[in-house]
């Protein structure tokens, strides 16, 4: 995480003949986008993405133990989406969805070494905003394969892969979250009211350091937090819930990682406290970012969007990691704080189902830029503004990374009440049906119960309709995307 703004700025602005030709080719698009947003002062936008943070690892989500005062204040003064989800629970896929507003079947990123295809990257929200005249920055975990796109940003201090938490800096060891906050402050000090900016900060926290036996490598500055409390374990973190799992899930990578993190009460407390301390580190970084906005006179026209790439099992059902379609794996935080909102619209808790694919269209809408026809997510701006609008009633989940014995391929449909899960590489496919209203812990599979046959068939049909439409959809389509009817 070397801090070298001058070098990166040069990379962004200077260039070869090919770069010049590419810049000329986008002039008309850039001018059109700038003209489209010239009717008023465009907001600054900060997109914060945490790694493996589940929806309930926040005080504002009624977690009674975790210490997140800055995040909670952001929600109190902004809008909290209490039902936010990722459409695929793994890092590189979810980040591609966040950048583009597309499901995995459309952006087709399904390996850690795979970059976004050039046409899709050209329509990602950071590139579109830069074309529209925004000053753009990226800090942290890039999350996708290929060469780091330094020249696509005005300020870039990202890293490939998982990175590491501790770094030598000026003779001291500094935690990555602190370095990223330093870089964010540096970026903000280079901004002015004369040009809007979009800063994307992609934290590594609270992801584990898989190569280290301690796993959750938090900043020692937060060691004092949670020392004198026993963090409650979930009621589903029991042998009973593990026994209720399908047999083929009991020896997957989720179980292997559980053995490293939660197999004993001592391990569980160490892991839970480490995870919480990493989240508290992000909370502290947010506090520094907001203070810098105030100091630079930028806070009154800045929107902050905070979300997570995917959820995370903390021992529930004898599992760790993510990937599966249980709530702990797919449900993530989402807070949108718009400093321009009147007091009457602050503190909303929106119940609508929001998705990671909604981030890109929301950011573009905030900037006054038309959303491309092929984008599958929806702008959340009407909801932030307190409107009641027609909204999605279901959505599609997909995950097919890795060998089947470690990462079973799973798809499904989530509605407000029901969850239909289908493991698609079994012989035959294995199905689950959960009534989330009456069984929020997803213990009782209702597939074989006669009284739910009609619900099951309806959700099978929805799964097939979603799958078919996603298979056929082209991101560059000339017609606007609509969820299957």
pLDDT of amino acid 477: 83
pTM above threshold 0.75: yes
The tokens of 390 are what? 């027609």
Do 320 and 254 meet the contact criterion of CB atoms below 8 Å apart? Answer: yes
pLDDT over 60 (residue 19): no
pLDDT of amino acid 40: 61
pLDDT over 80 (residue 13): no
Once rounded to an integer, what is the mean pLDDT over residues 221-228?
97
Spatial CB neighbours of 70, under 8 Å, sequence gap ≥ 6:
283, 284, 286, 287, 290
pLDDT of amino acid 478: 86
Mean pLDDT, the chain, integer: 92
Annotated domain spans of the chain: 45-394
Once rounded to an integer, what is the mean pLDDT over residues 219-235?
96
Once rounded to an integer, what is the mean pLDDT over residues 284-311?
98
Q: Which 3-state string (H, E, C) describes 335-391?
A: EEEECCCCHHHCCEEECCCEEHHHHHHHHHHHCCCCCCCCCCCCCCHHHHCCCCCCC
pLDDT of amino acid 21: 32
Superfamily of domain 45-394: Alkaline Phosphatase, subunit A (3.40.720.10)
Share of the chain above pLDDT 70, in %: 92
pLDDT of amino acid 211: 86
Residue 57 pLDDT grade (very low, low, confident, very high; cuts 50, 70, 90): very high
pLDDT over 60 (residue 430): yes
């Amino acid at each position: 995480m070397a801090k070298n703004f001058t070098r990166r700025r040069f990379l962004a602005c200077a260039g070869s003949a090919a770069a010049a030709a590419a810049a000329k080719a986008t002039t008309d698009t850039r001018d059109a986008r700038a003209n489209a947003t010239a009717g008023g002062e465009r907001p600054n936008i900060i997109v914060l993405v945490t790694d493996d943070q589940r929806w309930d690892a926040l005080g504002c989500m009624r977690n009674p133990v975790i210490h997140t005062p800055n995040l909670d204040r952001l929600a109190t003064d902004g809008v909290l989406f209490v039902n936010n989800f990722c459409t695929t629970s793994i890092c590189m896929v979810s980040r591609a969805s966040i950048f583009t507003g597309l499901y995995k079947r459309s952006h087709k990123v399904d390996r850690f070494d795979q970059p976004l295809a050039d046409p899709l990257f050209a329509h990602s929200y950071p590139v579109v905003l830069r074309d529209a005249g925004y000053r753009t920055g990226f800090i942290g975990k890039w999350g996708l394969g290929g060469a780091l796109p330094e020249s696509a940003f005005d300020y870039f201090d990202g890293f490939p892969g998982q990175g590491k938490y501790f770094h030598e800096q000026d003779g001291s060891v500094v935690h990555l979250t602190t370095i990223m906050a330093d870089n964010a402050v540096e970026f903000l000090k280079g901004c002015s009211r004369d040009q809007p900016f979009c800063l994307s900060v992609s934290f590594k926290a609270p992801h584990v350091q898989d190569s280290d036996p301690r796993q959750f490598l938090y900043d020692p500055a937060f060691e004092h937090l949670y020392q004198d409390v026993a963090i409650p374990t979930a009621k589903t973190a029991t042998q009973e819930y593990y026994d209720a799992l399908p047999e083929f899930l009991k020896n997957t990578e989720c179980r292997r990682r559980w053995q490293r993190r939660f197999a004993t009460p001592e391990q569980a407390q160490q892991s839970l406290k480490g995870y919480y301390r990493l989240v508290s580190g992000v909370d502290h970084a947010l506090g520094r970012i907001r203070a810098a906005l105030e100091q630079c006179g930028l806070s009154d026209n800045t929107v902050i969007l905070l979300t997570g790439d995917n959820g995370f099992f903390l021992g529930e059902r004898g599992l760790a990691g993510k990937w599966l379609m249980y709530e702990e794996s797919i449900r993530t935080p989402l807070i949108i704080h718009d400093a321009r909102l009147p007091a009457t619209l602050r503190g909303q808790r929106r119940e609508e189902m929001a998705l990671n694919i909604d981030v890109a269209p929301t950011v573009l809408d905030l900037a006054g830029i038309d959303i491309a026809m092929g984008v599958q997510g929806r702008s959340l701006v009407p909801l932030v503004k307190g409107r009641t609008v027609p909204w999605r009633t279901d959505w599609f989940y997909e995950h097919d990374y890795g060998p089947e014995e470690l990462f079973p391929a799973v798809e499904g449909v989530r509605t407000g009440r029901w969850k239909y899960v289908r493991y698609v590489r079994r012989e035959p496919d294995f199905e689950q049906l959960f009534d989330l209203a009456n069984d929020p812990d997803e213990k009782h599979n209702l597939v074989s119960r006669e009284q739910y046959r009609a619900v099951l068939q309806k959700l099978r049909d929805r799964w097939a309709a979603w799958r078919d439409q996603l298979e056929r959809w082209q991101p560059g389509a000339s017609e606007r995307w609509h969820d299957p009817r």
